[in-house]
Structure 1
Amino acid sequence: MPDKVPPTSAATAARSILTRLHEVMAARTHAQGKLNQVVQIIGDSLDSEVCSIYLLREGMLELYATRGLNQSAIHVTRLGVGEGLTGTIAANIETLNLDEAAAHPEFQYVPETGEEKFHSFAGVPIVRRERAIGVLTVQHVEPRKYEEVEVEALQTVAMVLAELIHNAGLVDEEDSAGQTVNHTGQDVMDGLQLVKGLGLGKAVFHQPRVQIDQTVAEDTEAERQRVYLAFDKMREQIDHMANQAEFGTGGEHEEVLQTYKMFAYDEGWGRRINEAIDSGLTAEAAIERVQQRTRMRMREIDDPLLADRMHDLEDLANRLLRIVSGQLGTAASSGLREDSILIAKNLGPAELLEYDKRRLKGVVLEQGSLTAHVVIVARAMGVPVIGRVRNVRGLVREGDELLVDGDKAQLTIRPTQGVLDAFEARFARRREKQAAYARLREVEPFTRDGQRVQVMMNAGLRDDVPMLPLTGADGIGLFRTEFQFLISSVLPQRERQTRLYKDVLDAAGDKPVIFRTVDIGGDKSLPYINSENAREDENPAMGWRALRLALEREGLMKVQARALLDGAAGKTLNVMFPMVSEIWEFDAAKAVFEEQLAFLKDRKHKLPQAINYGVMLEVPSLAEMMDLLVDKVSFISVGTNDLTQFLFAADRSNPVLAERYDWLSPSILRFLDRIAKGVVGTRVDLGVCGEMGGRRLEALALIGLGYRRLSITPAAVGQIKELVRQVDTKAISQAMTGWLSSPPPSMREALTAWAADNGIELD
């Protein structure tokens, strides 16, 4: 029998075992024979009387190989996940090291193994892809705790065993996908509603998991050099992040950056990876080994702040692993091959746009917020998004079928057939509706009494414009020019802006396009545009943003004005200023355009045929100046999203308040009625931009108030056109007048009942 190797360090103990295991793994022996040799090698090296391997098969931990226990118990002894000490290790993915096993509350005596004479016990999970697929245990007659270096050696060996076990097909794939945490069947996770909608597809990780093909090193020094080079490259990336679009100056972004730097330059982290390489692991396996240790610590942490820091370390380790393995691309670079649900910790808007919209059916984020730039872009793309789904990357495996319900902010993992059938029924009803709407594509939306209502669509990307003919919208009532700024890491040059605006107008043909000047700042902050006035905003929604910022940064507005004027050469330019609070702000913004128009005229540039100036009415103060405003503008678009939060002093990015205040409350409707009455008898075209106009019941109320232009998400165009054709404007106007004069207990219920009585479908 070989001599015991003195475990002077975890590295030397593990290296001794791995050196001998390497020969076993390379031999042409069947899997059972290899594991029989493995338990002998580990027992010899650690001078342990018992060494056993349990594998997860058909949902149970089956004793697969042992030295020291009764051989007759092999393939007979089976423990449930969570049952006994071995089951507890698998369920919690934790290590146990006990001098007296029977004293542990989870101890369970298994008579057929003959283990009653053994007192000491140590066990480690065999983990693959963050899930326990088995357990490696050692036992000894004498009551003693195993040395820390011995437990470290066991953990390293267990990692190598995970690959051997998987490659040999000893653990059924369905079992290895998550029995240890009871996630092989259907599971439902709640999150934060970011973008509504339904999506069904296969799980795709934005940052694909790195496949580690080789765990045992041939040349330790060569592996060490690979890690050194990867660390250098990673540190360069972290240092460079300060200049990238996702990191601004000050605030949360800077804290994240400082945490990343702290870990990237942490000598302890690098030392632990080096020790893992000393034990005989490849660079990739060494990083994964240290990650496993970090994950085990994360499961024990109750402090949310410390847990977040450990998540940051996990994220950085994944970055290092991708660098050292050369697997650097995202899932977008390889393309989506089927209907897919994208899983990510977080996403930037430019990263989202790299994916094929035809196959991207939903996005699930571990983080994410209502004000994130990616949410703004996803909403424009019509892709449902759920955020703050904790540990989703740990519970979902690549290729799992996922069902995203953005309406309920729920993610269903591996849905049952019954759930799929119900979901498909919802989809089928939606498809039937869409088919009915498609038949209205070429039909002009006139009401029953002959009133023409313009149903326009919102857009912000070049790729949105083809939706015009597909939906039959009357034009683009809101083109958000800031999207080009949000998806860029640098300020878009004038030539690039001009090209976009020209392309949009060319694609729209004879249908009108209303360009809203850049609405940035506040919740849409850009790192390459810093404003002294915006840095201390405690409430960004009401802070230094939109037209306020643009007038401060006059160069920004001049460039956009020139680009819009050039892009609209020979056509009609409709330009709208956002967040106008007072008349002088409109005058100042218009003056910038008129100045650039004179500049272009002097240089004989081709000019727009006509220019119509308008405002986005979203700040209540502007409504108090309607009598003066109507003499200055060609059109007014009421921005119901911001207007609502300003009227109710309720931040719509706050999930607690997001659904509290109803668009059909008398206060909102009376305010909108006052605006509508303010343009009666003038030549001002009045419309609504925002989600309110895209909901059938709310749109019915707006028509009753006299609004004849609705600009909404492309997906809602068909249903609103259908609604318009069912409405008698005189009847609904009369009803609205009565309700506003003497509001019922619930305006929503009253309007719903009225619609039913008048044959108007609302679903």
Structure 2
Amino acid sequence: MPTSAASSARSILTRLHEVMAGRDSAQAKLDRVVEVIGEELDSEVCSIYLLREGELELFATRGLDQSAVHVTRLGTGEGLVGSIAVNIETLNLAEAASHPDFSYRPETGEDKFHSFAGVPIVRRERAVGVLSVQHTDPRRYEEVEIEALQTVAMVMAELIDNADLVDEESVSRENEHLTEPVQLFGQALVRGLAAGRAVFHQPRITIEHTVAEDTEAERQRVYVAFDKMREQIDDIAKQAEFGVGGEHEEVLATYKMFAYDEGWGRRINEAIDSGLTAEAAIERVQQRTRMRMRQIDDPLLADRMHDLEDLANRLLRIVSGQLGTAASRGLREDAILVARNLGPAELLEYDKRRLKGVVLEEGSLTAHVVIVARAMGVPVLGRVRNVRGQVREGDEILLDANNATAFVRPAQSVVDAFAARFTKNKERQAAYAKLRDVEPFTRDGTRITVMMNAGLRDDMPTLALTGADGIGLFRTEFQFLVSSTLPARERQLRLYRDVLDAAGNKPVIFRTVDIGGDKALPYLHHEDVVAEENPAMGWRALRIALDREGLMKAQSRALLEAAAGRTLSVMFPMVSEPWEFDAAREIFENQLKWLRERRKKVPDEVRYGCMLEVPALAECLDDLIPRLSFLSVGTNDLTQFLFAADRAHPRLAERYDWLSPAILRFLKRIQLATVGHQIDLGVCGEMGGRRLEALALIGLGYRRLSITPAAVGPIKELVRRIDVAAIESAMAQWLANPPASMRDSLSQWAVEHEIDVD
């Protein structure tokens, strides 16, 4: 057995090339192929199953009974072979019979074999067969053996296609159902309604030739493609405007790091060394990435792997000469984009006037593309199984991301019902727009402060458009995340001054830099960062700023100088104990003293606050509150820390409810701790931007909400319908004696008081 995947695959491919060049029949070639693979991998069994008439037929074998050839058939999804085909994934088992999908076929004589490994033979993104090996000893096949099998499977796909061994009638029959209406279900990643024609993001690139004639020539093609791809990514990163909203800019630094990752290029080179063409090598590494994604339990890491797949798709299009996605062709009508997954840069390339929604086969709440889509106001439905197998290009799609569903080729009754909802939604948006200059007072005269979140200069015009009371959270880290080096103090100063100028008389709360964790900076190295298993609870935010004091000093000076002659409100993130707040404030106070000593103009007032995201801080509020001007509860991080549940995990994303007694009681504890103190208490986070949740927060005593710009209008309209005394009384009763479902009880209360919380 060769010692590396490249040498193993190269040895097999060299022999397979000779087999394919011969004049034997297709069956004879397959018989020879299984012998070659079995000999090279020292495997007692090697078998090829091909798709015929909707079933996987044993076409050739070394080691199993020859009488089973063309006799043994398995349905897609049946047995280990069928499971590999339907899931398009690799299996590697030390004991085949222990797998729940194992199906024994006595005619094959396979009862004496224990170990099993199989890889799908994929053509045009569809499994057309399975290549498997077996051995009497119960052992898992080594990684180099699996990689060699996967490489060979790619070449097998070309041989099978050229020999017309796959029954195309079974392929066409698979698509016969694509004329009837179908309802798709998934996970709501960005809420909203949209309608349009299905557009496949990525045109299918068929790799016509897999075996390289000249490996050095193939290597040069990849080098040229890498240069072109990196140039494209750099151009995107330099654009001044990335759409509406600010969060999406934070993703580009990590994205660029993948584009320049030497390890990725090295793996493609190793695939070329095994004898593959440039296209086949890229696809080979991409298949391996998909395999790893299925095995990754950490959703944040899985999202980063999706970015790598996005770049691989871009690289494959460049090297194959098919440079464009649907974005390059242009959208000619309202479109719903359909894809396995998307990278952030690719979504930004679409015409925002025509792109109405996105349906993904994969995706998660923290995926970079979701951050971009939320900023663009584009609804996204994710985790729709086999979406590209159920939708045709040009199909009408009605996307209801509010209810995590989409209707494909909808019946007229569904179209009419959806149109009514869509019209009602537009009427609501128009009504919200009319509230732009209306102050949000409750029915009994309580003023609720409704502020918006921001992170870029480009966000500031939205302040006037929405009529928000100010910026309750300005994320300063975006400037750090899109820079290749630490932003100079002068550059920071210009940004902060521009933001304050744009805000005019409205307040702005600047959150000091929240980097680290999954927001990696290429120029900030630390031995612990790479090894972190849970970045959300790792070396991030204020923890980094206090360890790297120079970073905080530069930012504090920039903020103080930018706010000269005005009020500066600064908020520290991820405070766990009072001493951390004190240390951060001391840095600001020292810089303030330094400026005054040099007779520099300074702010008229500096208001210090912090975010309560770490539950531990709630136990120390009696100590900390006297030193605070304001306190903002960060509900996103607080929720996952309270429940010990990663909100990015697809199985946990919607498992724990913001309206659970645990969360609401905790929030009430925080509110009670502020009673009797001159402190401004508010909420920053998605919870405050949802109408039912906002109703609960007001009932808990919260009077300041900082939310996404799109939520400002709906929340202002909600406020005007609330009687504070009534909801506070109801919340007090529910907290004392929690109902079976707080959400249901609160919803029913809202209906009874004629408050629409949809």
TM-score range, shorter chain: 0.5 to 0.7
Cross-structure match for 2:661? 666
- For residues 534 and 69 of structure 2, the distance between their equivalents in structure 1, rounded to whole angstroms, comes to 59
Q: Which of the residues 580, 583, 594 maps onto 1:585? A: 580
**Percent of residue pairs bearing the same amino acid type:** 60
Closer, same or farther in 2 for the Cα pair 1:481/1:417, shift >3 Å?
farther
The residue number in structure 2 matching 1:233 is: 224
- 1:586, CA displacement in angstroms? 1.0
Gaps of 5+ in 1: 1-7, 17-44, 49-86, 108-126, 134-147, 166-170, 274-282
CA distance in 2, matches of 1:90, 1:711: 59
Are the structure 2 counterparts of residues 600 and 711 from structure 1 closer, same or farther at C-alpha, using a change threshold of 3 Å?
same
Q: Which residue of the partner structure matches residue 334 of structure 2? A: 339
Aligned pairs for 1:329-368 (under 5 A) are: 336-344=331-339, 346-349=341-344, 352-368=347-363
Cross-structure match for 2:680: 685
Q: Bigger shift: 448-457 or 459-468?
A: 459-468
Change (3 A) 1:177 1:669: same
In the alignment, is residue 246 of structure 1 matched against residue 254 of structure 2? yes
Q: Secondary structure at the match of 2:705?
A: strand
Asked if structure 2 preserves the Cα contact closer than 8 Å seen for 1:349 and 1:486, the reply is no
Distance in 1 (CA, whole Å) between partners of 2:201 and 2:691 is 36
How far 1:387 moved relative to its partner?
3.8
Q: Specify whether residues 720 and 264 from structure 1 end up closer, same or farther in structure 2 by C-alpha distance, changes over 3 A only.
A: same
Pair 1:262-2:267 in alignment: yes
Distance change in 2, residues 1:528/1:102 (3 Å): closer
Going from structure 1 to structure 2, the CA distance change for 1:261 and 1:515 (only over 3 Å counts) comes to same
CA distance in 1, matches of 2:697, 2:420: 31
1:704 corresponds to: 699
Deviates most, 692-701 or 351-360: 351-360
CA contact (8 A) 2:334 2:356 kept: yes
**One-letter amino acid of the counterpart of residue 723, structure 1:** L
Alpha-carbon distance, 1:643 to partner:
2.0
Kindly report which structure 2 residues correspond to 1:487-498, keeping only aligned pairs within 5 A, or say none: 487-488=482-483, 490-498=485-493
Q: CA deviation at 1:702?
A: 1.9
Measured after TM superposition, the shift of residue 632 of structure 1 is 1.4
- Whether 2:747 is the aligned partner of 1:747: answer no
Tell me the residue number matched to 2:503: 508
Question: Counterpart amino acid of 2:254?
Answer: E
Structure 1 residue 550: Cα displacement: 1.9
Which of 723, 731, 735 is the matching residue for 1:736?
731
Aligned to 1:442: 437
Q: Give 1:157 deviation, angstroms.
A: 4.8
Corresponding residue of 1:610? 605
Question: Which residue of structure 1 aligns with residue 645 of structure 2?
Answer: 650
Q: Among 414, 418, 425, which residue is 1:423 paired with?
A: 418
Give me the whole-angstrom Cα distance separating, in 2, the residues matched to 1:538 and 1:469: 42
Q: By how many angstroms is 1:511 displaced?
A: 1.8
Q: CA deviation at 1:521?
A: 2.3
Output one character per residue of 1:316-368: Cα deviation in whole Å (capped at 9) or x when no partner.
98555423344445655666554334455554545544544444333344543
Rounded Cα–Cα distance in structure 1 between residues aligned with 2:230 and 2:492: 30
How many residues are paired up?
A: 621
In structure 1, the partner of 2:755 is 760
Letter in 2 for 1:627: D
Contact map agreement 2:341 2:361 (CA 8 A) in 1: yes
Q: How does 1:125-136 map to 2 (within 5 A)?
A: none
- Residues 178 and 184 in structure 1, CA contact (< 8 A), matched pair in contact too: no
2:661 matches 1:640: no
- Any unmatched runs of 5+ in structure 2? 1-13, 27-49, 75-121, 129-152, 234-251, 297-301
Q: Give me the whole-angstrom Cα distance separating, in 1, the residues matched to 2:293 and 2:445.
A: 64
- Encode CA deviations 1:440-467: one digit per residue, 9 max, x unaligned: 2221111112111111122233333332
Q: Residues 724 and 461 from structure 1, CA distance in 2 versus in 1: closer, same or farther, beyond 3 angstroms? A: same
- Whole-angstrom CA distance in 2 between matches of 1:298 and 1:560: 39
The answer as to 2:690 corresponding to 1:695 is yes
User: 1:131–1:180: 8 Å Cα contact kept in structure 2?
Assistant: no
Cα contact 2:57–2:73 (8 A) shared by 1: no
Q: Is the 8 A contact 2:364 2:650 kept in 1?
A: no
Q: Distance in 1 between matches of 2:528 and 2:25?
A: 69
In the superposition, relative to structure 1, how do residues 674 and 530 fare at CA in structure 2: closer, same or farther (>3 Å)?
same
Question: What per-residue deviation string (whole Å, max 9, x for no partner) do you get for residues 489-523 of structure 1?
Answer: 55444444334333333332222221212222234
Structural RMSD (CA)? 5.1
Deviations 1:696-732 (CA, angstroms, capped at 9, x unpaired): 2322222222211111222222222122112222232
The alpha carbon displacement at 1:9 in A equals 9.8
Residues 76-111 of structure 1, C-alpha deviations (whole Å, 9 max, x = no match): xxxxxxxxxxx964757999689999965789xxxx
The 3-state SS of whatever aligns with 1:658 is: coil
Tell me if the contact between 2:57 and 2:70 (Cα under 8 Å) persists in the aligned partners. no
Aligned partners of 1:132 and 1:178 also within 8 Å: no
* Counterpart-to-counterpart distance in 1, 2:521 and 2:564: 29
Distance 1:317 1:638 in 2: 40
The answer to whether 1:199 aligns with 2:190 is: no
**What do the CA deviations read for 1:605-632 (whole angstroms, capped 9, x no partner)?**
5543432221111222222332332321
- In the TM superposition, what is the alpha-carbon distance from 1:577 to its structure 2 partner? 0.9
Name 2:512's counterpart in structure 1: 517
SS in 1 for 2:254: coil
How far apart, in 2, do the equivalents of 1:382 and 1:316 lie? 24
Tell me the distance in 1 between the aligned counterparts of 2:475 and 2:551: 16
Please identify the structure whose Cα radius of gyration is greater.
Answer: 1
1:558 aligns with 2:553: yes
Q: Distance in 1 between matches of 2:310 and 2:617?
A: 47
CA 531–422 in structure 1, closer or farther in 2 if over 3 Å, else same: farther
Q: Is the 8 A contact 1:627 1:678 kept in 2?
A: yes
Counterpart amino acid of 1:677? L
